[in-house]
Amino acid sequence: SYTTDSKSREENKNTLENLYSLSVDITKIRRLKEWVLLQEVAYVKEIAGILQEMGADETTVANIIERCPEAILHTPAEINSQRALWQLVCQNEKQLIELIEKFPDSFFTTEYQQNQKANILFFQELGLKNNIITRFLTSAPNIFYNPVEKNKNVIETLQRNYLNLGGSEANMKIWILKLLSQNPFILLNTPTSIEDNLEFLQKNDFTDQEVLQLLSKLKGFIFQLNSTTMQKSMLFSKNTFKCSDQELKQLVLKCPALLYYSVPILEERLEGLLREGISIAQIRETPMVLELTTQIVQYRIKKLSALGYDIKSGNLESLNGTKKDFEVTYGKIQSKKERPIFNPVAPLHIED
């Protein structure tokens, strides 16, 4: 929406002088978004003034403008409206300026202010805490660009299906809030795609209770899939593990990644495990290991091998889990190895 035609190919001298006076590194702007410097109208002093009013020092102001040069093309009125909007969920202006410095692009997207406001109020009514809403504003800003009716439709579809699958009215609110906190991007789906994916699971003989279990385990990622990719992934797993439909269902419940990851990803991870000398039987016993990237698996095997732990003959459980889980497992194996064997008849050496 900004002019970059031949009439305005020269950099705006007034803009440059104002940026210099704020100690902004103009070479960074030239490298990233030179077109900003070509605009006839810019509000450098005004935007800097608003940021300073909120408590930003000179370095912070310069940093924000360098990272998001378009900030200076917004009118002071637009930025003051955005400031008022974000204050609905920020504790104070100190927190607000910290968020702007970390996520300037999210803050300076002002085209959807009416939708943003309606969605903030809707999320508050739904029971989402302000700190979660600020996280959404910065990490998933596009969910606020939807008209609020679209987001309401998705939430109502989820609520209706939760109850239809046997979920209780009492737990529904907690379930919805948890799902949204874990994966706000479910709001970018359509109610139809949500219905289609649930129908796919039911057609594949997952009971209502099992579908609910999968929804919780998948943190809402199931709604970003489609029946074709899920079908392909399940067929790949069935052929790989040579199992019946019922056994496959149990494997998927144990490891929803078999449903979520595409065939190329599953193939790559499986090959990585086989290269390490791990058998298909071991993977079938602990399919959750497929949730880890090949690099993570190699790193963990290397660390365990250094302790003399042979993964080929052992259980794959020791590879599983988050980084923190693995460190706990590794620590236990290490302390077990280092612990001296106690000899009950050996003399004790006790120092005074």
Ramachandran quadrant class, 55 (left: phi over 0; alpha: psi -120 to 50; beta: rest): left
For residues 160-172, average pLDDT: 92
CA distance 25 to 88: 32
Q: What is the mean pLDDT of the chain?
A: 89
The structural domains of the chain, with segments of one domain joined by +, span 12-110
For residues 265-282, average pLDDT: 92
pLDDT at position 41 is 94
pLDDT at position 345 is 54
pLDDT at position 94 is 93
The answer to whether 136 and 143 have CB atoms below 8 angstroms apart is: yes
Residue 348 has pLDDT above 70, yes or no: no
Nearest residue to 118 via CA among 88, 162, 95, 161: 88
**DSSP code of residue 351:** -
Q: Assign 339 a pLDDT band (cuts: 50, 70, 90).
A: low
pLDDT at position 340 is 54
The angle that helices 93-102 and 76-86 make with each other, rounded to 10 degrees, is: 110
pLDDT at position 7 is 46
DSSP 117-149: HHHHHHHHHHT--HHHHHHHHHH-GGGGTS-HH
CA distance 101 to 148: 27
- Which of the two residues, 315 and 137, has the higher pLDDT score? 137
pLDDT at position 343 is 53
pLDDT at position 251 is 93
Residue 118 has pLDDT above 90, yes or no: yes
Residue 119 has pLDDT above 90, yes or no: yes
pLDDT at position 352 is 39
pLDDT at position 146 is 93
Out of 100-104, 109-113, 178-182, 188-192, the most confident range is 100-104
The answer to whether 266 and 294 have CB atoms below 8 angstroms apart is: no
Nearest residue to 187 via CA among 157, 229, 213: 157
pTM of the model: 0.79
Nearest residue to 223 via CA among 188, 194, 262: 194
The number of CA neighbours under 13 Å toward the Cβ of 190 is 4
Residue 337 has pLDDT above 80, yes or no: no
CA distance 307 to 267: 29
pLDDT (tens digit, 9 = 90+) per residue, 187-229? 998 889 888 989 999 999 999 999 988 887 777 777 778 889 9
For residues 32-44, average pLDDT: 94
For residues 143-147, average pLDDT: 95
The answer to whether 224 and 189 have CB atoms below 8 angstroms apart is: yes
Nearest residue to 309 via CA among 290, 291, 332: 332
Pick from 25-29, 112-116, 207-211, 337-341: least confident:
337-341
The angle that helices 148-164 and 208-217 make with each other, rounded to 10 degrees, is: 130
CA distance 151 to 165: 21
pLDDT at position 194 is 87
pLDDT at position 184 is 92
Positions of E strands within 169-288: none
How much of the chain exceeds pLDDT 90, in percent? 66
pLDDT at position 237 is 94
pLDDT at position 9 is 76
pLDDT (tens digit, 9 = 90+) per residue, 278-312? 999 999 999 999 999 999 999 998 988 888 888 88
pLDDT (tens digit, 9 = 90+) per residue, 62-90? 999 999 999 999 999 999 999 999 999 99
Q: Is the dihedral of CA 141, 143, 144, 146 positive or negative?
A: positive
For residues 22-32, average pLDDT: 93
